[in-house]
Amino acid sequence: MKKSLNWIDLGLISYSEAFAIQEKIHAKCVDQSWPDTLLFQENYPIVTLGRGTHEKNLLCTPDDLNLMGIALTTVSRGGDISYHGNGQLITSPILHFDHYVKGAHQYVRCLEQVVINLLAHYHIKGTRSKGQSGVWVVEPRSGEDKKIAALGIAVSHGVTLHGIAINVNPNLQHFKTIIPCGIDDKGVTSMVACGCPAIALSDLRDQFILAFNDMFGTHSRQSSIAEMELT
């Protein structure tokens, strides 16, 4: 029997507001008053500093970022520095991961495979890079290996937080303010830069849900923050 999963789409929202909602859902999942949930969002431009961030990977000052309209914050996920902004689909699976896989390492690999399978639907060949999380592609214009999806998770009380950001059509110039994920010898690309026609994030979201259901053996239903707050 397939496991039931909710999904909620916050749309375009600030990172701080979205994370506050994520924490509320996480708390309800921990006390089992709310089902495991896929939380989707698109953020206003922001640089996030993970638990493994090295200062040298921030290439400009907070004031410089502010002038560009990019916020800066520290976060609880693993990994180094990352950027989120318009044109990215961010998915945070908030779930008891050990109900689906054996261990956090396998969970991360399965999330990567969801994205690889999703990209294949759009005729983009995604791969893994040994020793590095996320999903990579060979960018057609440059012929270089570049990251198309960044991944970082946290686990608290057996329930996951954070997740994966897929570059659909973000402002790639914003990534030049950082060394993404602390990897200085590889760049960042997007689905559009890899030849994919412009796609609505809602369409990509729907395909992600299908790919996630196939990988984790789940059945997903749409929900809302209003419904969650009634529980």
Q: What is the pLDDT of residue 1?
A: 73
**pLDDT above 70: residue 183:** no
Residue 76 has pLDDT above 80, yes or no: no
Q: How many Å apart are CA 141 and CA 181, to the nearest integer? A: 23
Write the pLDDT tens digit of every residue in 118-157: 999 999 999 998 888 899 999 998 999 999 999 989 899 9
Residue range 154-162: average pLDDT? 94
Rounded to an integer, the average pLDDT of 39-68 is 87
- Is the pLDDT at 53 greater than 80? The verdict is no
Helix axes 201-216, 104-121, angle to 10 degrees: 130
Output the pLDDT for position 190. 97
Domain spans, the chain: 3-229
Tell me which of 29, 60, 181, 194 is the catalytic residue: 181
Helices (H), 41-136: 62-67, 104-121
- Give pLDDT, residue 180: 66
62-66, 78-82, 98-102, 179-183, range with the lowest pLDDT = 179-183
Of 178, 171, 230, the residue nearest 48 (C-alpha): 178
**Residues in binding site:** 77-84, 150-152, 163-165
Q: With a cut of 80, say whether residue 80 has pLDDT above it.
A: no
Q: Which fold has domain 3-229?
A: BirA Bifunctional Protein; domain 2 (3.30.930)
Q: Is 29 a catalytic residue?
A: no
Number of H helices, E strands in the chain: 5, 12
Residue 185 pLDDT level (bands cut at 50, 70, 90)? low
Q: What is the pLDDT of residue 40?
A: 99
Q: What is the DSSP letter of 45?
A: S
pLDDT score of 79 more than 80: no
- Position 78 scores a pLDDT of 62
- Report the mean per-residue pLDDT for the chain: 91
Measured in degrees and rounded to the nearest 5, phi and psi for residue 103 equal: 95, 155
**Closest C-alpha among 168, 84, 86 to residue 122:** 168
159-167 vs 127-129, strand pairing mode: unpaired
User: What's the whole-model pTM score?
Assistant: 0.92
